[in-house]
Amino acid sequence: MALTSRARRSLLALAGAALLGSGAHAQDRYIVMASTTSTEQSGLFSHLLPAFKQARGIDVRVVALGTGQALDMARRGDADVVFVHDQAAEEKFVAEGHGLKRWPVMYNDFVLIGPKQDPAGVRGRDIVAALQKLAAGTAPFVSRGDKSGTHAAELRYWKLAGIETPAGRVAGYKECGCGMGPALNIAASSGAYVLADRGTWLSFKNRADLAVLVEGDKRLFNQYGLIVVNPEKHPHVKRELAQAFVDWIVSPQGQATIASYRIGGEQLFFPNAQAQ
């Protein structure tokens, strides 16, 4: 039986509504991740996130900040998941009810970078001894000064070196309030020392006369964690999609994808979710 004009219009309207609905649903299949500048500037996410999208069909929109700022963003409910590297701050975030669970996922290490000629004489395997030598002299030192995980680690090392607040006490100490890449750029242009995560250093192109001077100290271990933001604090948080991201990252496939990211044949991050 032939459809009337009115019936055809009704069917077209229903079909259009269905298409709009499916399009809106597809557009909703994304999460916002607050993460660190080190993971973003190392190039890891351009390697990792397309693999996740292919596996689960979910987009991840990254906002790269220092760890402290990333956690603050999540506290405001402006992110669905955080991917950061300051274990004490992460555990506090969860304990305060802002996150559901902290999942350790990978690690690398911090390194002390400086001029190849090493005018301050810090080269070696002891980060505390190196900072004590810098404190005793006038060689320039660039601190991120941005409440990032790297900045927090740097301040811990200064404290171990007997210096509670290096700003104002260490002659060459300058805070840039910037990410890892810009801090390395400043160090390269001024012949300064700087603490960096190895991943960003390996991906950094503008090295000038800089080199790794201190590495191998077990205190330089750098663990990364993932936390889904608590939807009880912020009901709009996409818990299921965020958890799907966490589940994939800690799965054998996600861990293998992290391990496969290399620059010049050198691995930048080492998965350890299965070892926890």
For the stretch 93-119, pLDDT in tens is 999 999 999 999 999 999 999 999 999
- pLDDT of 18 > 50? The answer is no
Is the domain spanning 109-220 CATH 3.40.190.10? The answer is: yes
pLDDT of residue 270 exceeding 60, the answer is: yes
- Alpha-helical (H) ranges within 59-147 are 67-75, 87-95, 127-136
Residue 27 has pLDDT above 70, yes or no: no
User: Which letter, b or e, does each residue of 87-123 get, where b requires 16 or more Cβ atoms within 10 Å of its Cβ?
Assistant: bebbeebbeeebbbebbbbbbbbbbbbbbeebebebb
Task: Give the pairing of strands 81-84 and 30-36.
Answer: parallel
26 pLDDT above the threshold of 60: no
Give the DSSP letter of residue 124. Answer: B
**Residue 167 Cα distances to 95, 147, 150, 174, 215, angstroms:** 30, 14, 16, 7, 24
| pLDDT level of residue 17 (50, 70, 90 thresholds) | very low
Q: What average pLDDT does range 125-144 have in this prediction?
A: 97
Mean residue pLDDT of the chain comes to 91
Query: In which band, very low, low, confident or very high, does the pLDDT at 28 lie, cut at 50, 70 and 90?
Result: confident
All residues at 6 or more sequence positions from 90 whose CB lies less than 8 Å from its CB, including other chains:
71, 82, 84, 99, 102, 225, 227
Residues 115-140 have a mean pLDDT of 97
How far, in Å, CA of 73 to CA of 82, rounded?
A: 9
The boundaries of every CATH 3.40.190.10 domain in the chain are 30-108+223-275, 109-220
Measuring CA to CA, how many Å separate 52 from each of 30, 70, 205, 242, 253?
Answer: 11, 21, 27, 12, 9
The candidate with the shortest Cα–Cα distance to 195, out of 104, 134, 267, is 134
pLDDT band (50, 70, 90) for residue 275: low
DSSP 165: -
Percent of the chain whose predicted confidence (pLDDT) is above 70: 89
Start-to-end CA distance of the chain, whole Å, equals 66
Supply φ then ψ for residue 31, to 5 degrees: -130, 155
Joined tokens for residue 43: 């190039």
Per-residue pLDDT tens for 204-230?
A: 989 999 999 999 999 999 999 999 999
Digit-coded pLDDT (tens) for 55-95: 999 999 999 999 999 999 999 999 999 999 999 999 999 99
| Distances in whole angstroms, Cα of residue 274 to Cα of each of 100, 124, 134 | 19, 32, 39
25: pLDDT strictly greater than 60: no
Assigned fold of 30-108+223-275: D-Maltodextrin-Binding Protein; domain 2 (3.40.190)
Contacts of 196 (CB under 8 A, 6+ apart): 110, 111, 113, 150, 180, 183, 184, 204
